[in-house]
Structure 1
Amino acid sequence: MDKKLIFEKVDHTLLTQTATWEEIKEICDDAISYGTASVCIPASYVKRVKEYMKDRMAVCTVIGFPNGYSTTAVKEFETKDAINNGADEIDMVINLGDLKNGQYDMIEEEIRTLKAACGNHILKVIIETCLLTKEEIIKMCEVVTNAGADYIKTSTGFSKSGATFEDVELFAKHIGEGVKIKAAGGITSFEDAEKFIELGASRLGTSRIVKLAKNEESTGY
Protein backbone atom coordinates (compact mmCIF):
# COMPACT_ATOMS: atom_id res chain seq x y z
CA MET A 1 0.00 0.00 0.00
CA ASP A 2 1.23 3.47 -0.90
CA LYS A 3 2.40 5.27 2.25
CA LYS A 4 0.50 8.36 1.14
CA LEU A 5 -2.74 6.38 1.49
CA ILE A 6 -1.74 5.41 5.02
CA PHE A 7 -0.90 8.99 6.01
CA GLU A 8 -4.33 10.10 4.77
CA LYS A 9 -5.92 7.91 7.45
CA VAL A 10 -3.67 8.98 10.33
CA ASP A 11 -4.79 11.20 13.19
CA HIS A 12 -1.27 12.43 14.04
CA THR A 13 -1.38 12.41 17.83
CA LEU A 14 0.33 14.02 20.79
CA LEU A 15 -1.59 13.70 24.07
CA THR A 16 1.16 13.43 26.67
CA GLN A 17 0.61 15.45 29.85
CA THR A 18 3.89 17.33 29.38
CA ALA A 19 3.42 18.29 25.71
CA THR A 20 4.90 21.73 25.04
CA TRP A 21 3.81 24.24 22.43
CA GLU A 22 6.99 23.59 20.42
CA GLU A 23 6.17 19.86 20.35
CA ILE A 24 2.56 20.53 19.40
CA LYS A 25 3.64 22.91 16.65
CA GLU A 26 6.05 20.28 15.32
CA ILE A 27 3.33 17.65 14.93
CA CYS A 28 1.14 20.26 13.21
CA ASP A 29 3.92 21.00 10.72
CA ASP A 30 4.54 17.29 10.19
CA ALA A 31 0.83 16.63 9.69
CA ILE A 32 0.73 19.16 6.88
CA SER A 33 3.97 17.87 5.35
CA TYR A 34 2.78 14.27 5.27
CA GLY A 35 -0.90 14.93 4.53
CA THR A 36 -2.46 13.25 7.56
CA ALA A 37 -6.20 13.26 8.26
CA SER A 38 -5.86 15.44 11.36
CA VAL A 39 -3.79 16.36 14.36
CA CYS A 40 -5.11 15.03 17.67
CA ILE A 41 -4.08 17.21 20.60
CA PRO A 42 -5.10 18.16 24.17
CA ALA A 43 -8.11 20.45 24.42
CA SER A 44 -6.02 23.17 26.06
CA TYR A 45 -4.12 23.63 22.79
CA VAL A 46 -7.08 23.61 20.40
CA LYS A 47 -7.57 27.37 20.09
CA ARG A 48 -3.86 28.05 19.61
CA VAL A 49 -3.50 25.22 17.09
CA LYS A 50 -6.54 26.38 15.10
CA GLU A 51 -5.07 29.88 14.91
CA TYR A 52 -1.74 28.40 13.81
CA MET A 53 -3.15 25.87 11.32
CA LYS A 54 -6.18 27.85 10.13
CA ASP A 55 -7.91 25.57 7.61
CA ARG A 56 -4.80 23.70 6.49
CA MET A 57 -5.50 20.66 8.69
CA ALA A 58 -8.41 19.24 10.70
CA VAL A 59 -7.99 19.63 14.47
CA CYS A 60 -9.10 16.76 16.69
CA THR A 61 -9.22 16.71 20.49
CA VAL A 62 -10.23 14.33 23.28
CA ILE A 63 -13.09 14.55 25.77
CA GLY A 64 -13.38 12.78 29.14
CA PHE A 65 -9.85 11.60 28.52
CA PRO A 66 -8.40 9.15 29.36
CA ASN A 67 -10.62 7.59 32.05
CA GLY A 68 -14.09 8.50 30.81
CA TYR A 69 -15.72 8.86 34.23
CA SER A 70 -16.55 12.56 34.12
CA THR A 71 -20.26 13.26 34.22
CA THR A 72 -22.14 13.68 30.96
CA ALA A 73 -22.68 17.36 31.74
CA VAL A 74 -18.93 17.89 32.06
CA LYS A 75 -18.23 16.03 28.82
CA GLU A 76 -20.92 18.04 27.05
CA PHE A 77 -19.35 21.29 28.25
CA GLU A 78 -15.89 20.09 27.21
CA THR A 79 -17.22 19.21 23.77
CA LYS A 80 -18.95 22.55 23.20
CA ASP A 81 -15.91 24.43 24.49
CA ALA A 82 -13.57 22.50 22.18
CA ILE A 83 -15.76 23.16 19.15
CA ASN A 84 -16.08 26.84 20.05
CA ASN A 85 -12.27 26.95 20.17
CA GLY A 86 -12.04 25.47 16.68
CA ALA A 87 -12.01 21.67 17.04
CA ASP A 88 -13.20 19.85 13.92
CA GLU A 89 -13.35 16.36 15.45
CA ILE A 90 -14.07 15.03 18.93
CA ASP A 91 -12.84 11.72 20.40
CA MET A 92 -14.81 10.96 23.57
CA VAL A 93 -14.20 8.24 26.18
CA ILE A 94 -17.22 6.28 27.42
CA ASN A 95 -17.96 5.71 31.10
CA LEU A 96 -16.55 2.22 31.59
CA GLY A 97 -18.17 1.96 35.02
CA ASP A 98 -21.56 2.29 33.35
CA LEU A 99 -20.55 -0.43 30.92
CA LYS A 100 -19.46 -2.82 33.66
CA ASN A 101 -22.74 -2.08 35.48
CA GLY A 102 -24.65 -3.04 32.34
CA GLN A 103 -26.09 0.48 32.01
CA TYR A 104 -25.84 0.57 28.23
CA ASP A 105 -28.80 2.93 27.95
CA MET A 106 -26.85 5.54 29.91
CA ILE A 107 -23.83 5.19 27.62
CA GLU A 108 -26.03 5.48 24.55
CA GLU A 109 -27.71 8.61 25.90
CA GLU A 110 -24.34 10.18 26.70
CA ILE A 111 -23.07 9.53 23.18
CA ARG A 112 -26.30 11.04 21.77
CA THR A 113 -25.79 14.11 23.96
CA LEU A 114 -22.24 14.63 22.77
CA LYS A 115 -23.18 14.01 19.15
CA ALA A 116 -25.82 16.72 19.48
CA ALA A 117 -23.17 19.02 20.93
CA CYS A 118 -20.92 18.21 17.98
CA GLY A 119 -23.52 19.06 15.37
CA ASN A 120 -21.91 18.46 11.98
CA HIS A 121 -18.51 17.78 13.52
CA ILE A 122 -17.17 14.22 13.66
CA LEU A 123 -17.62 12.26 16.90
CA LYS A 124 -15.46 9.20 17.63
CA VAL A 125 -16.28 6.99 20.62
CA ILE A 126 -13.40 5.37 22.52
CA ILE A 127 -14.46 2.15 24.25
CA GLU A 128 -11.04 0.98 25.57
CA THR A 129 -11.20 -2.56 24.19
CA CYS A 130 -8.32 -3.87 26.35
CA LEU A 131 -10.61 -3.58 29.40
CA LEU A 132 -13.61 -5.29 27.79
CA THR A 133 -14.78 -8.81 27.07
CA LYS A 134 -15.60 -9.88 23.53
CA GLU A 135 -19.29 -9.74 24.43
CA GLU A 136 -18.94 -6.19 25.77
CA ILE A 137 -17.15 -5.07 22.60
CA ILE A 138 -19.95 -6.50 20.46
CA LYS A 139 -22.56 -4.78 22.63
CA MET A 140 -20.72 -1.47 22.33
CA CYS A 141 -20.76 -1.78 18.54
CA GLU A 142 -24.54 -1.85 18.82
CA VAL A 143 -24.68 1.05 21.30
CA VAL A 144 -22.36 3.30 19.27
CA THR A 145 -24.35 2.55 16.11
CA ASN A 146 -27.71 3.26 17.76
CA ALA A 147 -26.39 6.50 19.28
CA GLY A 148 -25.47 7.91 15.87
CA ALA A 149 -21.73 8.40 16.38
CA ASP A 150 -19.45 8.62 13.37
CA TYR A 151 -16.69 6.30 14.58
CA ILE A 152 -16.02 3.60 17.13
CA LYS A 153 -12.43 3.75 18.40
CA THR A 154 -10.44 1.03 20.11
CA SER A 155 -8.29 2.76 22.70
CA THR A 156 -6.96 5.83 24.45
CA GLY A 157 -3.39 4.57 24.35
CA PHE A 158 -3.21 5.26 28.10
CA SER A 159 -4.47 1.88 29.39
CA LYS A 160 -3.02 -1.65 29.43
CA SER A 161 -2.68 -1.92 25.66
CA GLY A 162 -3.81 -0.40 22.40
CA ALA A 163 -5.55 -1.65 19.29
CA THR A 164 -5.34 -5.26 18.16
CA PHE A 165 -6.20 -6.80 14.82
CA GLU A 166 -8.83 -8.87 16.60
CA ASP A 167 -10.53 -5.72 17.94
CA VAL A 168 -10.84 -4.22 14.47
CA GLU A 169 -12.06 -7.49 12.97
CA LEU A 170 -14.74 -7.65 15.66
CA PHE A 171 -15.76 -4.05 15.03
CA ALA A 172 -16.05 -4.66 11.30
CA LYS A 173 -18.40 -7.59 11.86
CA HIS A 174 -20.71 -5.85 14.30
CA ILE A 175 -20.91 -2.11 13.66
CA GLY A 176 -23.93 -0.78 11.82
CA GLU A 177 -24.12 1.05 8.53
CA GLY A 178 -22.50 4.47 8.57
CA VAL A 179 -20.19 3.82 11.52
CA LYS A 180 -16.46 3.86 10.77
CA ILE A 181 -13.55 2.37 12.70
CA LYS A 182 -10.54 4.04 14.31
CA ALA A 183 -7.67 1.90 15.59
CA ALA A 184 -5.43 3.64 18.12
CA GLY A 185 -2.57 2.81 20.44
CA GLY A 186 0.46 0.65 19.73
CA ILE A 187 0.55 1.05 15.94
CA THR A 188 4.31 0.81 15.52
CA SER A 189 4.95 0.04 11.84
CA PHE A 190 3.70 0.70 8.34
CA GLU A 191 2.95 -3.03 8.11
CA ASP A 192 0.68 -2.85 11.14
CA ALA A 193 -0.99 0.28 9.79
CA GLU A 194 -1.67 -1.38 6.46
CA LYS A 195 -3.10 -4.46 8.19
CA PHE A 196 -5.48 -2.35 10.31
CA ILE A 197 -6.69 -0.57 7.17
CA GLU A 198 -7.19 -3.86 5.33
CA LEU A 199 -9.27 -5.13 8.26
CA GLY A 200 -11.56 -2.11 8.08
CA ALA A 201 -10.04 0.85 9.94
CA SER A 202 -10.69 4.22 8.31
CA ARG A 203 -8.55 6.12 10.81
CA LEU A 204 -5.38 5.34 12.76
CA GLY A 205 -4.50 7.16 15.97
CA THR A 206 -0.72 7.21 16.14
CA SER A 207 2.36 9.39 16.37
CA ARG A 208 4.81 6.73 15.28
CA ILE A 209 3.96 6.43 11.59
CA VAL A 210 5.07 9.97 10.80
CA LYS A 211 8.11 9.54 13.07
CA LEU A 212 9.06 6.40 11.15
CA ALA A 213 8.79 8.25 7.85
CA LYS A 214 10.93 11.12 9.14
CA ASN A 215 13.53 8.66 10.42
CA GLU A 216 13.62 6.83 7.10
CA GLU A 217 14.19 10.12 5.29
CA SER A 218 16.93 11.22 7.67
CA THR A 219 18.80 7.90 7.46
CA GLY A 220 18.21 7.32 3.77
CA TYR A 221 16.33 4.02 4.22
Structure 2
Amino acid sequence: MSIAACIEHTNLKPEATPGDIRQLCQEARTYGFAAVCVNSSYVELAKQELAGTSCLVTSVVGFPLGAMASKAKAMETAEAVASGADEIDMVLAIGRAKAADWEYVYQDIRLVVLSAASRPVKVILETGLLTDEEKVKACQAAVEAGAAYVKTSTGFGHGGATVHDVALMKRAVDGSAKIKASGGIHDYASARQLVEAGADRLGASAGIAIVQGELHDGE
Protein backbone atom coordinates (compact mmCIF):
# COMPACT_ATOMS: atom_id res chain seq x y z
CA MET A 1 0.00 0.00 0.00
CA SER A 2 1.30 3.45 -0.90
CA ILE A 3 2.08 5.73 2.00
CA ALA A 4 -0.29 8.28 0.45
CA ALA A 5 -3.18 6.20 1.80
CA CYS A 6 -1.96 6.97 5.34
CA ILE A 7 -1.52 10.71 4.93
CA GLU A 8 -3.85 13.45 6.14
CA HIS A 9 -2.79 16.43 4.02
CA THR A 10 -2.80 19.32 6.45
CA ASN A 11 -3.06 23.10 6.50
CA LEU A 12 -3.87 24.53 9.92
CA LYS A 13 -2.00 27.81 9.56
CA PRO A 14 -3.86 30.82 10.95
CA GLU A 15 -3.14 32.71 7.73
CA ALA A 16 -4.54 29.96 5.46
CA THR A 17 -6.90 31.48 2.89
CA PRO A 18 -9.82 29.83 1.06
CA GLY A 19 -7.52 29.59 -1.95
CA ASP A 20 -4.96 27.70 0.14
CA ILE A 21 -7.61 25.21 1.22
CA ARG A 22 -8.77 24.69 -2.36
CA GLN A 23 -5.17 23.97 -3.33
CA LEU A 24 -4.83 21.56 -0.40
CA CYS A 25 -7.89 19.66 -1.59
CA GLN A 26 -6.73 19.59 -5.19
CA GLU A 27 -3.39 18.14 -4.08
CA ALA A 28 -5.24 15.54 -1.99
CA ARG A 29 -7.21 14.54 -5.08
CA THR A 30 -4.08 14.31 -7.22
CA TYR A 31 -2.02 12.23 -4.80
CA GLY A 32 -4.77 10.06 -3.33
CA PHE A 33 -4.35 11.12 0.29
CA ALA A 34 -6.58 9.58 2.96
CA ALA A 35 -7.87 12.92 4.20
CA VAL A 36 -7.33 16.62 4.50
CA CYS A 37 -7.07 18.20 7.93
CA VAL A 38 -8.34 21.76 8.29
CA ASN A 39 -9.63 24.22 10.87
CA SER A 40 -13.36 23.97 11.52
CA SER A 41 -14.22 27.14 9.59
CA TYR A 42 -12.97 25.47 6.40
CA VAL A 43 -14.77 22.12 6.73
CA GLU A 44 -17.66 23.08 4.46
CA LEU A 45 -15.33 24.39 1.76
CA ALA A 46 -13.12 21.30 1.91
CA LYS A 47 -16.15 19.03 1.75
CA GLN A 48 -17.34 20.82 -1.39
CA GLU A 49 -13.92 20.64 -3.00
CA LEU A 50 -13.63 16.90 -2.33
CA ALA A 51 -17.14 15.94 -3.43
CA GLY A 52 -17.13 12.72 -5.41
CA THR A 53 -13.84 11.48 -3.94
CA SER A 54 -13.03 9.07 -1.12
CA CYS A 55 -10.83 11.67 0.59
CA LEU A 56 -12.13 12.44 4.09
CA VAL A 57 -12.32 15.82 5.81
CA THR A 58 -10.85 16.03 9.31
CA SER A 59 -11.56 19.04 11.48
CA VAL A 60 -9.43 20.07 14.44
CA VAL A 61 -11.23 21.10 17.62
CA GLY A 62 -9.90 23.08 20.58
CA PHE A 63 -6.82 23.72 18.49
CA PRO A 64 -3.96 24.21 19.21
CA LEU A 65 -4.01 24.69 23.01
CA GLY A 66 -6.73 22.36 24.26
CA ALA A 67 -7.33 24.68 27.20
CA MET A 68 -10.82 25.95 26.35
CA ALA A 69 -13.97 24.82 28.12
CA SER A 70 -15.21 21.33 27.36
CA LYS A 71 -18.58 22.69 26.26
CA ALA A 72 -16.80 24.98 23.78
CA LYS A 73 -14.98 21.98 22.32
CA ALA A 74 -18.28 20.11 22.11
CA MET A 75 -19.97 23.02 20.34
CA GLU A 76 -17.12 23.32 17.83
CA THR A 77 -17.35 19.58 17.24
CA ALA A 78 -21.09 19.74 16.59
CA GLU A 79 -20.60 22.64 14.18
CA ALA A 80 -17.82 20.81 12.32
CA VAL A 81 -20.00 17.71 11.99
CA ALA A 82 -22.92 19.80 10.75
CA SER A 83 -20.58 21.29 8.14
CA GLY A 84 -19.61 17.83 6.91
CA ALA A 85 -16.58 16.74 8.94
CA ASP A 86 -15.88 13.03 8.68
CA GLU A 87 -13.42 12.92 11.58
CA ILE A 88 -12.52 15.12 14.56
CA ASP A 89 -9.04 15.80 15.96
CA MET A 90 -9.38 17.33 19.44
CA VAL A 91 -6.59 18.63 21.64
CA LEU A 92 -6.23 17.08 25.07
CA ALA A 93 -6.81 19.24 28.15
CA ILE A 94 -3.05 19.29 28.61
CA GLY A 95 -2.91 21.30 31.84
CA ARG A 96 -5.39 18.94 33.47
CA ALA A 97 -3.24 15.99 32.42
CA LYS A 98 -0.19 17.67 33.93
CA ALA A 99 -2.20 18.11 37.14
CA ALA A 100 -3.20 14.42 37.07
CA ASP A 101 -6.88 15.37 36.91
CA TRP A 102 -7.71 12.34 34.81
CA GLU A 103 -11.44 12.51 35.50
CA TYR A 104 -11.53 15.96 33.86
CA VAL A 105 -9.45 14.68 30.94
CA TYR A 106 -11.83 11.75 30.48
CA GLN A 107 -14.99 13.89 30.65
CA ASP A 108 -13.47 16.47 28.25
CA ILE A 109 -12.84 13.76 25.66
CA ARG A 110 -16.13 12.04 26.30
CA LEU A 111 -18.14 15.20 25.63
CA VAL A 112 -16.44 15.61 22.26
CA VAL A 113 -16.96 11.94 21.40
CA LEU A 114 -20.69 12.30 22.11
CA SER A 115 -20.88 15.53 20.08
CA ALA A 116 -19.11 13.87 17.15
CA ALA A 117 -22.19 11.71 16.55
CA SER A 118 -20.29 8.50 15.76
CA ARG A 119 -17.56 10.22 13.73
CA PRO A 120 -14.10 8.98 14.73
CA VAL A 121 -12.39 11.22 17.28
CA LYS A 122 -8.62 11.51 17.52
CA VAL A 123 -7.14 12.87 20.75
CA ILE A 124 -4.02 15.02 20.29
CA LEU A 125 -1.78 14.47 23.32
CA GLU A 126 0.91 17.06 22.56
CA THR A 127 3.50 14.49 23.59
CA GLY A 128 6.32 17.03 23.82
CA LEU A 129 4.68 18.43 26.97
CA LEU A 130 3.99 15.10 28.71
CA THR A 131 6.08 12.53 30.54
CA ASP A 132 5.90 8.94 29.34
CA GLU A 133 3.67 8.10 32.31
CA GLU A 134 1.33 10.95 31.40
CA LYS A 135 1.25 9.82 27.77
CA VAL A 136 0.17 6.33 28.85
CA LYS A 137 -2.52 7.66 31.18
CA ALA A 138 -3.78 10.04 28.48
CA CYS A 139 -4.02 7.14 26.01
CA GLN A 140 -5.97 5.12 28.55
CA ALA A 141 -8.36 8.02 29.21
CA ALA A 142 -8.90 8.47 25.47
CA VAL A 143 -9.72 4.80 24.98
CA GLU A 144 -12.09 4.77 27.96
CA ALA A 145 -13.85 7.86 26.60
CA GLY A 146 -14.45 6.21 23.23
CA ALA A 147 -11.81 7.88 21.05
CA ALA A 148 -10.87 6.06 17.86
CA TYR A 149 -7.28 7.34 17.71
CA VAL A 150 -4.62 8.93 19.83
CA LYS A 151 -2.40 11.44 18.07
CA THR A 152 1.07 12.68 18.95
CA SER A 153 1.18 16.43 18.37
CA THR A 154 -0.44 19.58 17.05
CA GLY A 155 2.68 20.64 15.19
CA PHE A 156 2.34 23.99 16.94
CA GLY A 157 3.81 22.98 20.30
CA HIS A 158 7.01 21.54 21.71
CA GLY A 159 8.42 18.71 19.64
CA GLY A 160 6.67 16.46 17.17
CA ALA A 161 6.14 12.83 16.31
CA THR A 162 8.85 10.39 17.37
CA VAL A 163 9.25 6.65 16.93
CA HIS A 164 9.51 6.32 20.71
CA ASP A 165 6.17 8.02 21.31
CA VAL A 166 4.33 6.14 18.57
CA ALA A 167 5.57 2.81 19.92
CA LEU A 168 4.70 3.83 23.49
CA MET A 169 1.19 4.93 22.49
CA LYS A 170 0.70 1.73 20.48
CA ARG A 171 1.46 -0.33 23.58
CA ALA A 172 -0.71 1.88 25.78
CA VAL A 173 -3.87 1.53 23.67
CA ASP A 174 -3.25 -2.21 23.26
CA GLY A 175 -5.34 -2.53 20.10
CA SER A 176 -8.28 -0.48 21.42
CA ALA A 177 -7.47 2.60 19.31
CA LYS A 178 -5.35 3.56 16.32
CA ILE A 179 -2.37 5.89 16.20
CA LYS A 180 -1.91 9.12 14.27
CA ALA A 181 1.57 10.59 14.11
CA SER A 182 1.89 14.29 13.36
CA GLY A 183 4.31 17.14 13.86
CA GLY A 184 7.60 17.52 12.04
CA ILE A 185 7.12 14.76 9.45
CA HIS A 186 8.92 16.21 6.45
CA ASP A 187 10.26 13.28 4.41
CA TYR A 188 9.57 9.71 3.39
CA ALA A 189 12.26 8.15 5.59
CA SER A 190 10.81 9.58 8.79
CA ALA A 191 7.25 8.82 7.66
CA ARG A 192 8.14 5.19 6.98
CA GLN A 193 9.81 4.83 10.39
CA LEU A 194 6.66 6.10 12.11
CA VAL A 195 4.43 3.72 10.17
CA GLU A 196 6.75 0.83 11.02
CA ALA A 197 6.56 1.87 14.70
CA GLY A 198 2.77 1.57 14.59
CA ALA A 199 1.27 4.73 13.12
CA ASP A 200 -1.94 4.15 11.15
CA ARG A 201 -2.23 7.75 9.94
CA LEU A 202 0.27 10.53 9.33
CA GLY A 203 -0.67 14.17 9.65
CA ALA A 204 1.63 16.26 7.51
CA SER A 205 1.78 19.46 5.51
CA ALA A 206 4.65 17.90 3.54
CA GLY A 207 2.54 15.09 2.08
CA ILE A 208 3.68 15.71 -1.47
CA ALA A 209 7.36 15.57 -0.52
CA ILE A 210 6.74 12.35 1.41
CA VAL A 211 5.02 10.66 -1.56
CA GLN A 212 7.69 11.85 -3.98
CA GLY A 213 10.30 10.47 -1.58
CA GLU A 214 8.57 7.09 -1.65
CA LEU A 215 8.63 7.08 -5.45
CA HIS A 216 12.33 7.97 -5.46
CA ASP A 217 13.05 5.27 -2.88
CA GLY A 218 11.23 2.74 -5.05
CA GLU A 219 13.47 3.58 -7.97
Distance of 2:118 and 2:29 partners within structure 1? 23
Q: 2:173 aligns with which of 175, 182, 185?
A: 175
Contact persistence 2:44–2:83 (CA under 8 A)? yes
Count how many residue pairs are aligned between Structure 1 and Structure 2: 215
Instruction: Pick from 181, 184, 204 the counterpart of residue 182 of structure 2.
Output: 184
The corresponding residue for 1:37 is 34
Partner of 2:112: 114
Structure 1 residue aligned with 2:78, among 80, 83, 104?
A: 80
Question: Tell me, which stretches of 5 or more residues in structure 1 are unaligned?
Answer: none
Alignment correspondent of 1:47: 44
Residue pair 1:142, 1:176 contacting (<8 A) in 2 also: no
1:141 CA drift (Å) = 1.6
Taking only the aligned residue pairs, the percentage that are identical comes to 39
Aligned to 1:157: 155
Partner Cα distance (1:177, 1:140) in 2: 15
Deviates more, 1:38-47 or 1:172-181: 172-181
Alpha carbons 1:145, 1:176 under 8 Å: kept: no
- Rounded to whole Å, the distance in 2 between the matches of 1:135 and 1:10 is 28
1:178, CA displacement in angstroms?
2.7
- The AA in structure 2 aligned to 1:142 is Q
Give the structure-2-normalised TM-score: 0.93
Letter in 2 for 1:12: H
Contact 1:180 1:201 in 2 (8 A): yes
Q: 1:22 to 1:211 in 2, by over 3 A?
A: farther
**Aligned residue number for residue 9 of structure 2:** 12
Whichever residue aligns with residue 47 of structure 1, its letter is E
**Paired residue for 2:145?**
147
| TM-score calculated relative to the size of structure 1 | 0.92
Deviation at 1:209?
A: 2.6
Instruction: Give 1:216 shift.
Output: 9.6
User: Closer, same or farther in 2 for the Cα pair 1:42/1:216, shift >3 Å?
Assistant: same
Deviation at 1:176, TM superposition (A): 3.4
Partners of 2:188 and 2:213 within 8 A in 1: no
List gaps (5 residues or longer) in structure 2.
Answer: none
Alpha-carbon displacement from aligned partner over 1:18-63 (angstroms, at most 9, x marks no partner): 0111111111011111111100011111112212222412111100
Q: Which amino acid letter does the alignment assign opposite residue 110 of structure 1?
A: D
Aligned amino acid, residue 136 of structure 1: E
The C-alpha deviation readout for 1:49-96, integer Å capped at 9, x for no partner, is 212222412111100000001100000000000000011110000111
How far off is 1:172 after superposition?
1.3
Distance 1:47 1:93 in 2: 21
Secondary structure, aligned partner of 1:8: helix
CA contact (8 A) 2:187 2:209 kept: no
